[in-house]
Structure 1
Amino acid sequence: MVNQSKPILAIFGGSFDPPHEGHQAIVKLASKYLDIDKLIVVPAFLNPFKKTSSALASQRLEWCQTLFDNIPKVQVDDYEIQEGKSTTTSQTLKHFNSRNHVKYLIIGADNLSTLEKWHQFEWLNTHITWVIITRENYPIISDSLKSWKVLSIHKAMSSTAIRDKQDLQHVDNKIKHSVQKVLQGKHIMKIEQSIENIVQILDQNKADDIEVFNLEDADYIAKRVIISNSLNGKHTIALAEHIKKALKETDEDILYSDISDDWAVLDLGDTLIHIMIPEYRQRYSIETFLSELVEKQKKNADIDPA
C-alpha cells in the first residue's frame, strides 16, 4: 500500500535540447490537471537512445530552470545531470520514490512504439500511470499499458526541428538568444568538419593547390569557399564524383552542381566548391576576388570593434 503521507509526483524527463513552447504547454497542463503535489522536470545528462546532445547538460538545465521553476507546483531537478551519465527512467523513478510517491510518468506519443524496449519496462508499467502527450501523426497505441491517460497538446513542434532548421519562433524569448548562440556555434562546427572532410578527399585524390576561404562575415553567398586544381578534364570530373559520393555518405545535401571537364562547381549552401583545371583558375582568378573580400571584412572588423 502506498504511504499517502508522501508527496505525490509526476515526472517529466527529456533532453530539452532546447526546451520549447510545446514543453511549456505540457508542464502547465500537467501541473494543472494531474492530482499531484509537484511536477518534477528532469533534464537528461544524455538520453539513453541518443549518442550526443547539441547543448551542454548545464546549459539545458539552466534553460529549464528559467522556463519552469516559476510555475506553481513545478520544480526542475538536476538528478540525472549530477549522475554524469545516461540514466534509465527506472533508476530515476526509484530515486524519487525513496522520499515521494511517483504516480505519473509523462511521455510523448512518439515514444509508444519503443516503450517496451525501455529498461525495466514491466516494473515501470506496474508502478506508474503513463501520461501520454498527443503528437501529430503518432497514434495512441496503449495495448501494453496497465494504467494510462492522455493529455492533448495542439502544438506541432520538436527540438530536433528547431535544431535542424534553426527556427526559433517556438522558443521562449527568455532563452532565445542563448539557444541561438548554441545552435550557431554547432552549425559553424559542422561546417568546419565538412570542410576538413572535403579537403581531405581532394588531397587524397591528388587535387593540387587547395585553398579554403572563410567568408563568415563577408557579404557573399557562402560562408566558406574551397578552390582546388585538377590535373586535367577527366580528373576534374573524377574529383567532383569523389566529393558527391562522400557527401552522400554523410547525409550532406548538394543544392546545385555544374560539372564539366574544365570547371566543376558544387553548392552545399554554406560552402561552395570550385574544382578547375589550372588554365581556368588562372584565367578567372577567383581567389583574388575572394582574398579582397576577406581583407575587406578584416578592415570592417577593425573599424567596428563591436
Structure 2
Amino acid sequence: MKIAIFGGSFDPPHIGHEMIVHEALRHLDIDTLFVIPTYLNPLKCDFVAPATKRITWLTQLFETQQKVKICDYEVKQQRRVYTIETIEYLLKTYEISKIYLIIGADNYKIFDQWRDHDKIQSHCELVVASRDDTIYPKDLKKLNINAKISSSKLRAHMDGAFIPKMIRNEVIEYYTRNIMEKRIERIVSILDTNKAESIQTFDMSNKDYIVDAVVIATTLGERHGAALLETLKTELKDKGEIFLNIDESSDWAILDMGDILVHLMSPAYREKYNIEEFLTNRELELNQEDH
C-alpha cells in the first residue's frame, strides 16, 4: 500500500489545502491520501475551531475523493502529537510499502527542528507544497500550489474567495461569530479588570441595528471614566482594533469600533437613558415581527 500523509491544523480549511490534495492525487503514485488534522499543532499554543468541527469540514470537502481518508488519530489523543508518532501508528495499522509526507515550504525550511526528523525521513519521502519560486534540491518532489493564503491570514481577515464553496458559508459564519465573541470577551475583561461596574453585552447581529454588538459599563466617576477610556484605547489598539470615532464627555463616552459600540456611562446617565432597555425591546420587537 502506497500512501501520502498531509497533516495540519486546517483552522480553517482553505483552497490551498484543496489544491494540495488534488495535486497530490494527480502526481503521486498512491493508493490512499491520509488528511490528518491535528488536535493541537506542536508549533502552536491553541486553535480556534475545535477538532471535531475541522474534521467535519474536511470530510465534507473531500467526500467525493475515493482515495482520500480523513484520519482522526491525532485528534483522538487530545494532545499535541508529533509527526513521528502518527507515522508509526499508520505503519502498525496498515501494510505500507511507501510513504510520502507532504509539508509546506515554511515547514520544509525548519524541518531539521522537527522531533525525530531523521527517523521521519527514514520512513518517508518528503514532498513540498510550494507557493513560491524557491529553488529546492533536484531530487525533492514538489507540488506547485498557486494559492498564497494561510489559515492564520484567513482568521484575521475572512475572505470567502479563499474558502472552498462546499463549506464556505458555514466556515465564514463560524469564524466571524467566534472572532466577534473573542473581541467582546477582551473588552469585557479590560473593563472588569479596571473596576467598571454593571457590564452588559448585547448581541445585535441580524437585528437590523447599526452595529453587531453593544457593550455598556458604568463608571465610578469622571476620572475613572477617563482612565477606562484610555485603557481601552491603548489595549485594544495593541490587538489591532480600529476606532472609527470616539465621543467623550464627563458622563458618557462612546467608542465606535465599526461593528461594536462601547458605552461608558456615569450611574446617573445610565439610569436616565437606559440604553439596555431600548436594546432589549428592539430584540423583542424583531422577534414579534418574525412571528
- The interval holding the TM-score normalised by the smaller chain is 0.7 to 0.9
The one-letter code of the counterpart of 2:186 is: S
Q: How does 1:2-17 map to 2 (within 5 A)?
A: 7-17=1-11
**Retained in 2: the 8 A contact 1:69–1:76?**
no
CA 1:210–1:61: 2 relative to 1, 3 Å: closer
**Retained in 2: the 8 A contact 1:225–1:272?**
yes
With structure 2 as the length reference, what TM-score do the two structures score? 0.84
Aligned-residue offset at 1:148: 2.2
Aligned to 2:218: 228
Residue 292 in structure 1 maps to residue 284 in structure 2: no
Identity %: 32
Aligned-residue offset at 1:140: 3.6
Residue 163 in structure 1 maps to residue 144 in structure 2: no
SS of corresponding position for 2:100: strand
CA distance in 1, matches of 2:85, 2:58: 21
Residue 173 in structure 1 maps to residue 165 in structure 2: yes
**Retained in 2: the 8 A contact 1:255–1:268?**
yes
The one-letter code of the counterpart of 1:246 is: E
**Retained in 2: the 8 A contact 1:110–1:135?**
no
The one-letter code of the counterpart of 1:299 is: E
**Retained in 1: the 8 A contact 2:128–2:143?**
yes
CA distance in 2, matches of 1:73, 1:38: 5
Aligned-residue offset at 1:89: 0.6
Aligned-residue offset at 1:95: 1.7
CA distance in 1, matches of 2:183, 2:148: 29
Structure 1 stretches lacking a partner, 5+ long: 1-6
**Retained in 2: the 8 A contact 1:10–1:39?**
yes
**Retained in 1: the 8 A contact 2:202–2:279?**
no
Deviates more, 1:42-51 or 1:193-202: 193-202
**Retained in 2: the 8 A contact 1:96–1:102?**
no
Residue 255 in structure 1 maps to residue 243 in structure 2: yes
CA distance in 2, matches of 1:45, 1:130: 22
CA distance in 2, matches of 1:113, 1:248: 33
Aligned to 2:234: 245
Superposed CA offset, 1:62-108 (max 9, x none)? 22122224224322222222223221111111222232134311011
Q: How does 1:264-283 map to 2 (within 5 A)?
A: 264-275=253-264, 281=269
Of residues 130, 150, 153 in structure 2, which corresponds to 1:134? Answer: 130
Of residues 34, 40, 48 in structure 2, which corresponds to 1:40? Answer: 34
CA 1:75–1:209: 2 relative to 1, 3 Å: closer
CA distance in 1, matches of 2:279, 2:177: 23
CA distance in 1, matches of 2:25, 2:163: 20
CA distance in 2, matches of 1:286, 1:254: 27
The one-letter code of the counterpart of 1:175 is: I
**Retained in 2: the 8 A contact 1:17–1:159?**
yes
**Retained in 2: the 8 A contact 1:105–1:131?**
yes
**Retained in 2: the 8 A contact 1:20–1:172?**
yes
Q: How does 1:3-152 map to 2 (within 5 A)?
A: 7-98=1-92, 99-136=95-132, 140=134, 148-152=140-144
Residue 198 in structure 1 maps to residue 190 in structure 2: yes
CA distance in 2, matches of 1:225, 1:23: 38
CA distance in 2, matches of 1:169, 1:248: 28
The one-letter code of the counterpart of 1:297 is: E
* Residue correspondences, number: 287
Aligned-residue offset at 1:304: 0.8
Structure 2 stretches lacking a partner, 5+ long: none
- For the aligned residues, what is the CA RMSD? 2.9
CA distance in 1, matches of 2:270, 2:57: 52
Deviates more, 1:79-88 or 1:27-36: 79-88
CA distance in 2, matches of 1:72, 1:213: 46
**Retained in 2: the 8 A contact 1:236–1:261?**
no
